[in-house]
Amino acid sequence: MSKIPQKQSKSAASVVTSAAAASLTDTDVRTGMQPAALRQAVKDHLRYSIGRLPAMASAHDYYFALALAVRDRMLQRWLSTTQTYFDLSRKVVCYLSAEFLMGPHLGNNLVNLGLEQAARKALAELGGDLDTIMACEEEPGLGNGGLGRLAACYLDSLATLQCPAIGYGIRYEFGIFDQEIQDGWQAEVTDKWLRHGNPWEIVKPEIAYYINLGGHTEHYRDETGNDRVRWVPQRVVKGTAYDTPIQGYDVNTCNTLRLWSAEAVESFDFQAFNTGDYYQAVEDKMISETVTKVLYPNDEPEIGKQLRLSQQYFFVSCSLQDMLHLLDLAGVPVENFAQRFAVQLNDTHPSIGVAELMRLLVDERGLDWDAAWAITMQTFGYTNHTLLPEALETWPLPMFAELLPRHLEIIYAINQRFLAEVRARFPNDEARVARMSLIGEEGDKRIRMAHLATVGSHAINGVAALHSDLLKASVLKDFYEMWPERFINKTNGVTPRRFLALANPGLRGLLNDTLGEQWLEDPGQLRQLEAEAGNAAFRSKWRAVKEANKQRLADYIRTHAKVELDPNWLFDILVKRIHEYKRQHLSVLHIVTLYRRLKENPELTIPPRAFIFGGKAAPGYFMAKRIIKLINAVAETVNADPAVNTRMKVAFVPNFNVQNAHLIYPAADLSEQISTAGREASGTGNMKFMLNGALTIGTLDGANVEIREEVGTENFFLFGLTAREVERIKREGYRPGDYVAGNTELRTVLELISSGYFSRGDSEVFRPVIDNLTQSDPFLVLADYAAYITCQEQVNTAWQDKENWTRMSILNTARSGKFSSDRAIGEYCDEIWNVHPATVKL
Ligand code: F68
């Protein structure tokens, strides 16, 4: 494992530990870190920023005032950080991501600044309660799930490790929809996260770039006789920067998340306006602003949606133009671009950047092709997050040509040189050439974005060891054979600041009392907990923390799902996007199996369990929406049945998001990670559960493999086919019917669901789910059913030994250090980006 960049001489300039800094800033209303200064700051912001008398102020007003007061305390650090990077001429990581699922900022910034206690006290003195006030924040849900949340965790770690970094993305006006459950079905409600304003962002009207769309290209010869290309666009959109400061934990480093918002170009408006075409001007404005209006709520690509491609190109071009502008400001020649920026592509969504950087360097800056290509290759790294063939992005060529005519020419030129290289390396292998081409020619022609990203990057990584291996053996096999040295694994990680310190204050306190506070910056120190696993008094404290967390979640579920849960029961939790490959329906089959067993045999003794689900389905994903309905239907029947509801209950937490995730992960006894082996690239929820002391029941998929390795096989409930077995069974012709025929209990479970038993007699509603399972079962739910049920019985047995369960729970937290995003980011810095930390002094 690589060395994590160490923080440098932190104590000299530390946020809260420096006595000099404290005395300078103690009483200042803008910067003071003590409760009295913070209290005055909140009062001032109420009056002068919000215009409210304290007596009239709502909890939301207090939230806004406190947010502004906290932001004030970040701004000096932010300015110093930018100045430091500039002065030191440091290389900067540019993390390009179409999604940043940041979650609420207030609590996280308080943790990272060490201000929680001060804020709690200040608010109490003003008659407020910090938790109530934090709950007022509308979370910026600018992402679909794991990929967007990973980007957010990585920003936290980059700042904490004092690495120069900018996150670049899109300021969607509407983020991921809010999910409501109506009669058991998912209903989508627009996420108007900006309706009350956003205290964390600072608009930079002077940082804006023009983005061309559509039109055609013109080839011409310049004054010196060189062939040049000019892009004559059909439309131009302006992208304006909105910056959010990203505070590192216990350091002065405060990096930037720069999100681009699309606006009409005024001069264009006026042109139409002046010629009397007022409506044309208004329409142009509206069309331009559409580009950043809404996040596509699918965690799979949109087929042929031009707006989606416009979004991608828009933010990538703004970001690359911004980098060139920063280079110019620093007086650095464009030839040194790659020495100053490491640009990471978070999946293929920003991969048009490869062609765009070529365009900027060749067309706009006049570099020759080979020089520009060398810079491009050295600049980019590409992270792949999926192997599912249907999730690999491709764009229909005609649509692409219409929107980005110049980029199509550039892609052809890249492809020509690249395929010549392939032919030279693998002569007489035209099948290989066709497979590797940037243009797919099966059926209609399509641009293959994963190929573009791979060809244009010096490093290509998967997000867990198994995933990186499968990547090399499947979707990028040909590329691996050509350039094995470019392929590398970077197992994902999650930030312990948000997902332990903030989400689980009880556990944080116990860990601080036991280990000191260093573990939060060096999660390897959690290993010292192993010594406590054998200590009965410690175990009892551990259980008390878990129980309080379960009570807190039970309270939330009572209000939001109208289900009463007993915190003494085993909390079995499955939260993530709803997908067939994630197999929420496998858990439902287990629940129905248990239900039947209890009905058949009322004397059966099983430890009581609460099955807790959460997750959004893509609005157009038919099967996923049925699965939500199925969970809710089973919940309704089970919870209302007095013959079983003293031993099992089911709850679906509506609107799973970062905010309620803070309550969910710390309350879990059992973490469900049950995807079909080979399908989940990594998973990161699995890590959040582990960190919070849940035991995992899971398949050998994604990062589960490494979690099991770290925690020890005896502390992990493993079941199911391996990725290799899954492939073999599929190759040989999988027949789900055989599994139904061979397992009476499975058959009765499926029949009970089909019969309408859980759906008030409606035998149609779940037919698509059951037919899919019995006829094709693409994710081998039925093949893994028996093993899953048996494994759940082992869970029951283990749960009955409370002391040993607690011991295993402690070991999970103790051995979770590897899954800190600090470890992951340290590896990216050393092995892909070649970026070094820089200490920021105030
Ligand atoms: C979003 C949009 C589109 C077009 C495609 C995919 C997605 C998306 O959200 N993907 C995603 O979340 N992938 C997940 O990334 C995580 C972080 O690497 C992994 O842990 C998950 O296994 C992977 O499914």
Tens-digit pLDDT profile for residues 354-377: 999 999 999 999 999 999 999 999
Distance from Cα 216 to the centre of ligand 1, integer Å: 34
Which residue has its alpha carbon closest to ligand 1 atom 17? 147
Asked if residue 411 has pLDDT above 70, the reply is yes
User: If you write DSSP's letter for every residue of 776-800 in order, what string do you get?
Assistant: T-TT-HHHHHHHHHHHHHHHHHHHH
Distance from Cα 298 to the centre of ligand 1, integer Å: 10
Q: Which helix (H) or strand (E) holds 83?
A: helix 59-88
Q: Which residues of 387-407 are buried (b: 16+ CB within 10 A; e: fewer)?
A: beeebbbbbbbeebbbbbbbb
Encoding tokens for residue 272? 């139409």
Rounded to an integer, the average pLDDT of 451-474 is: 98
Atom of ligand 1 nearest to the CA of 684: 20
> For a substitution probing ligand 1, which of 312, 351, 385, 689 has the most ligand atoms within 8 Å of its CB?
385
Tens-digit pLDDT profile for residues 173-193: 999 999 999 999 999 999 999
Which residue has its alpha carbon closest to ligand 1 atom 6? 299
Atom of ligand 1 nearest to the CA of 393: 4
Asked if residue 267 has pLDDT above 70, the reply is no
CB atoms within 10 A of CB 424: 8
Distance from Cα 186 to the centre of ligand 1, integer Å: 21
Distance from Cα 386 to the centre of ligand 1, integer Å: 7
| Beta-carbon contacts of residue 473 (< 8 Å; ≥ 6 apart) | 480
Atom of ligand 1 nearest to the CA of 302: 4
Determine the pLDDT at residue 4: 38
Tens-digit pLDDT profile for residues 672-696: 999 999 999 999 999 999 999 999 9
Encoding tokens for residue 27? 């009483």
Which residue has its alpha carbon closest to ligand 1 atom 1? 299
Q: How far, in Å, CA of 236 to CA of 443, rounded?
A: 33
Distance from Cα 837 to the centre of ligand 1, integer Å: 28
Q: How far, in Å, CA of 669 to CA of 699, rounded?
A: 17
Atom of ligand 1 nearest to the CA of 463: 18
In the structure, what pLDDT confidence band is assigned to residue 5 with cuts at 50, 70 and 90? very low
Which residue has its alpha carbon closest to ligand 1 atom 20? 683
Distance from Cα 147 to the centre of ligand 1, integer Å: 4
Mean pLDDT of the chain: 95
DSSP assignment letter at 192 = -
Q: How far, in Å, CA of 737 to CA of 132, rounded?
A: 53
Encoding tokens for residue 139? 């979370």
Determine the pLDDT at residue 673: 99
Atom of ligand 1 nearest to the CA of 492: 18
Determine the pLDDT at residue 16: 40
Distance from Cα 264 to the centre of ligand 1, integer Å: 31
Tens-digit pLDDT profile for residues 193-233: 999 999 999 999 999 999 999 999 999 999 999 999 999 99
Determine the pLDDT at residue 760: 97
pTM equals 0.96
* φ, ψ at 681 (rounded to 5°): -55, -50
Q: What angle do CA 660, 296, 671 make, to 5 degrees?
A: 35
Tens-digit pLDDT profile for residues 32-73: 999 999 999 999 999 999 999 988 999 999 999 999 999 999
Determine the pLDDT at residue 208: 98
Encoding tokens for residue 119? 């804020």
Residues in a beta bridge with 169: 259
Q: How far, in Å, CA of 148 to CA of 95, rounded?
A: 12
Atom of ligand 1 nearest to the CA of 349: 4
Q: How far, in Å, CA of 549 to CA of 829, rounded?
A: 36
Rounded to an integer, the average pLDDT of 787-795 is: 99
Reduced to 3 states, what is the DSSP secondary structure of residue 205? strand
Determine the pLDDT at residue 831: 98
Q: How far, in Å, CA of 385 to CA of 311, rounded?
A: 20
Please count the CA atoms within 13 angstroms of the CA of 359 that sit on its side-chain side: 25
DSSP assignment letter at 532 = G
Which residue has its alpha carbon closest to ligand 1 atom 4? 301
Atom of ligand 1 nearest to the CA of 467: 22
| Beta-carbon contacts of residue 118 (< 8 Å; ≥ 6 apart) | 33, 34, 35, 38
Rounded to an integer, the average pLDDT of 459-469 is: 98
Q: At what angle do helices 802-814 and 536-561 cross, to 10 degrees?
A: 90
User: If you write DSSP's letter for every residue of 294-360 in order, what string do you get?
Assistant: B----SS--TT-HHHHHHHHHHHHHHHHHHHHHHHHTT--GGGHHHHEEEEEESSTTTTHHHHHHHI
Which residue has its alpha carbon closest to ligand 1 atom 11? 147
Task: Work out the percent of the chain whose per-residue pLDDT is above 90.
Answer: 92
In the structure, what pLDDT confidence band is assigned to residue 17 with cuts at 50, 70 and 90? very low
Rounded to an integer, the average pLDDT of 292-297 is: 97
Which residue has its alpha carbon closest to ligand 1 atom 2? 299
Rounded to an integer, the average pLDDT of 807-833 is: 98
Asked if residue 19 has pLDDT above 50, the reply is no
Asked if residue 300 has pLDDT above 90, the reply is no
End-to-end CA distance of the chain: 33
> For a substitution probing ligand 1, which of 95, 97, 147, 490 has the most ligand atoms within 8 Å of its CB?
147
Distance from Cα 578 to the centre of ligand 1, integer Å: 12
Rounded to an integer, the average pLDDT of 161-171 is: 98
Q: How far, in Å, CA of 811 to CA of 395, rounded?
A: 47
Rounded to an integer, the average pLDDT of 3-12 is: 39
Asked whether the beta carbons of 837 and 162 are under 8 A apart, the reply is: yes
**Which residue in the block uniquely carries the two structure tokens 């004397």?**
603
Q: How far, in Å, CA of 515 to CA of 517, rounded?
A: 7
In the structure, what pLDDT confidence band is assigned to residue 268 with cuts at 50, 70 and 90? low
Distance from Cα 680 to the centre of ligand 1, integer Å: 9
CA distances from 446 to 310, 420, 443 (A): 16, 20, 9
Q: Which residues line ligand 1 (CB under 6 A)?
A: 144-147, 150, 299-301, 385-386, 391, 463, 492, 680-684, 702
Characterize the bridge pairing of strands 235-247 and 254-264.
Answer: antiparallel
Domains detected in the chain: 19-88+103-134 (no CATH), 566-819 (3.40.50.2000)
Q: What is the torsional sign of CA 461, 462, 468, 473?
A: negative
- Report residue 231 CA to chain centroid gap: 35
State the Cα torsion 298-301-307-309 to the nearest 10°: 140
Atom of ligand 1 nearest to the CA of 149: 17
Asked if residue 21 has pLDDT above 50, the reply is no
> For a substitution probing ligand 1, which of 294, 296, 311, 386 has the most ligand atoms within 8 Å of its CB?
386
User: If you write DSSP's letter for every residue of 600-631 in order, what string do you get?
Assistant: H-TT-----EEEEEE----TT-HHHHHHHHHH
Which residue has its alpha carbon closest to ligand 1 atom 8? 299
CB atoms within 10 A of CB 89: 12
* φ, ψ at 765 (rounded to 5°): -60, -35
Distance from Cα 463 to the centre of ligand 1, integer Å: 10
Nearest Cα residue to 13 out of 244, 254, 255: 254
Q: Which helix (H) or strand (E) holds 263?
A: strand 254-264
In the structure, what pLDDT confidence band is assigned to residue 108 with cuts at 50, 70 and 90? very high
Atom of ligand 1 nearest to the CA of 144: 9
Distance from Cα 429 to the centre of ligand 1, integer Å: 34
* φ, ψ at 95 (rounded to 5°): -95, 105
Which residue has its alpha carbon closest to ligand 1 atom 21? 683
Q: How far, in Å, CA of 810 to CA of 72, rounded?
A: 39
> For a substitution probing ligand 1, which of 299, 387, 579 has the most ligand atoms within 8 Å of its CB?
299
Which residue has its alpha carbon closest to ligand 1 atom 7? 299
Distance from Cα 535 to the centre of ligand 1, integer Å: 40
Number of H helices, E strands in the chain: 35, 24
Distance from Cα 401 to the centre of ligand 1, integer Å: 27
Distance from Cα 299 to the centre of ligand 1, integer Å: 6
Determine the pLDDT at residue 153: 99
CA distances from 551 to 112, 557, 667 (A): 27, 10, 8
Atom of ligand 1 nearest to the CA of 577: 12
Single-letter code of the amino acid located at 124: A
Asked if residue 18 has pLDDT above 60, the reply is no
Determine the pLDDT at residue 24: 45
Atom of ligand 1 nearest to the CA of 296: 2
Q: Which residues are catalytic?
A: 385, 576-577, 582, 684, 688
